[in-house]
Amino acid sequence: MTSHPVILAFRSSVRCWRHRALLRVALEASDVRCRRRYSTHIRGGVSGMEEILSRVVAPLPSYETRDKSPPPPETNSLEFMYFYKSLDKEDKLCFLTKLSQDFGVDHKSVSELALKLLDTQLRDLATILLAEDRLRYTLTPRYKQLFSHISRVEGGVKFLVDLRADVLEIISSKASDSPHIRDLNGALKSLLSEWFSVGLLRLERITWQSPCEILQKISQYEAVHPVRNWTDLKRRVGPYRRCYAFTHAAMPGEPLVVLHVALTEDISDNIQSIVREFATLDSDEDVNKINSAIFYSISSTQAGLQGVELGNVLIKRVVCLLGVQRYSYRY
């Protein structure tokens, strides 16, 4: 006897529901096991941290096999991220200190290769260049390779931005004067500068029709002239106003730097007239009343991107954009 299509569909949906339920239970059980294991490592103090780092920070491949060695499993990056997020502020300092000191550059190998490079100075150019390349490769910290792998997993880039924010806080608060921590910061800044270069950034205009999540973050991140309420925010992205932000594909829904612009008839000498007084503005823009663009607020939203050139680039991009859209403005 042939089963009725409705019955088949029902059975299929039941099997699908059971599969999803079992998968959810398995994931929850795995999450509990991870939490227990990580809490055990945290209670184990430094030895527990060393065990985690020894497992997830892969050795630097030899120079000869650097292009042939397979990348470490993605679980290494995820385990590092999960463990770090489970630490409190004091433990994070200890963890980063261990990471920077014990998983950085192999100074013994660097010294040996530096001596070999000096010995090759009287040889042919090819030998010298090879020795220089070997030395350059050996100067790569092991944790920098780990950071590169972390950047390839979902949420990895945002994690590294937040990680650098923690490192910068450690340095500024003088919680640690370790030169290894400063080297770790330099390695992170170098990587983030590459990942957040101008060509990889997306310029977006924020309007009242933008996703609510973006609008809420624009309001929260405003550091120069705090947004009072939703009505205030609506005016700042409405007629005679422009709001632009840089975003990045690796951090969706996260504005990196935000610029607010007022389009006016004249250059105002009173910032309050721009930020507070909206009653005289028309509900629809009249382009004939616009001949000036006042950039009255710019806010960087990610502490971990400090030192990565974003603000000046955003201003230059917006100047070009406004110039193309509306003849010429006075800035």
State mean pLDDT over 133-139.
Answer: 90
For the stretch 95-98, contacts whose Cβ atoms lie closer than 8 Å and that sit 24 or more positions apart, written own/partner, are 95/49, 95/53, 96/166, 96/167, 96/170, 96/181, 96/184, 97/176, 97/178, 97/180, 97/181, 98/46, 98/49, 98/50, 98/53
Provide the pLDDT confidence category of residue 36 given band limits of 50, 70 and 90. Answer: very low
Is 147 a residue whose pLDDT tops 50? yes
Q: Which is more confidently placed, 109 or 155?
A: 155
State mean pLDDT over 93-100.
Answer: 95
Max mean pLDDT range (7-21, 71-85, 279-293): 71-85
Q: Which of 32-41, 44-53, 107-116 has the lowest average pLDDT?
A: 32-41
- Could you tell me how far CA 74 lies from the centroid of its own chain? 18
Question: Would you tell me the crossing angle of helices 74-85 and 142-150 to the nearest 10 degrees?
Answer: 90
Provide the pLDDT confidence category of residue 71 given band limits of 50, 70 and 90. Answer: confident
Provide the pLDDT confidence category of residue 164 given band limits of 50, 70 and 90. Answer: very high
* Beta-carbon contacts of residue 201 (< 8 Å; ≥ 6 apart): 246, 247, 248, 256, 310, 313
Provide the pLDDT confidence category of residue 277 given band limits of 50, 70 and 90. Answer: low
CA distance 58 to 234: 50
| Prediction pTM value | 0.80
Per-residue HEC secondary structure of 52-70 comes to HHHHHCCCCCCCCCCCCCC
Q: Which is more confidently placed, 105 or 246?
A: 246
Is 179 a residue whose pLDDT tops 80? yes
State mean pLDDT over 48-65.
Answer: 88
State mean pLDDT over 87-92.
Answer: 94
Is 83 a residue whose pLDDT tops 80? yes
Beta strands in the chain (DSSP E): 201-205, 241-248, 257-264, 292-300
Is 251 a residue whose pLDDT tops 80? yes
Task: Report pLDDT for 26.
Answer: 41
Domains annotated for the chain, with CATH where assigned, are: 27-197 (1.20.140.90), 199-325 (3.40.630.150)
Determine what percent of the chain is predicted with pLDDT higher than 90.
49
Is 306 a residue whose pLDDT tops 60? yes
State mean pLDDT over 209-231.
Answer: 91
Candidates 19, 156, 179; CA nearest to 97 is 179
Is 45 a residue whose pLDDT tops 90? no
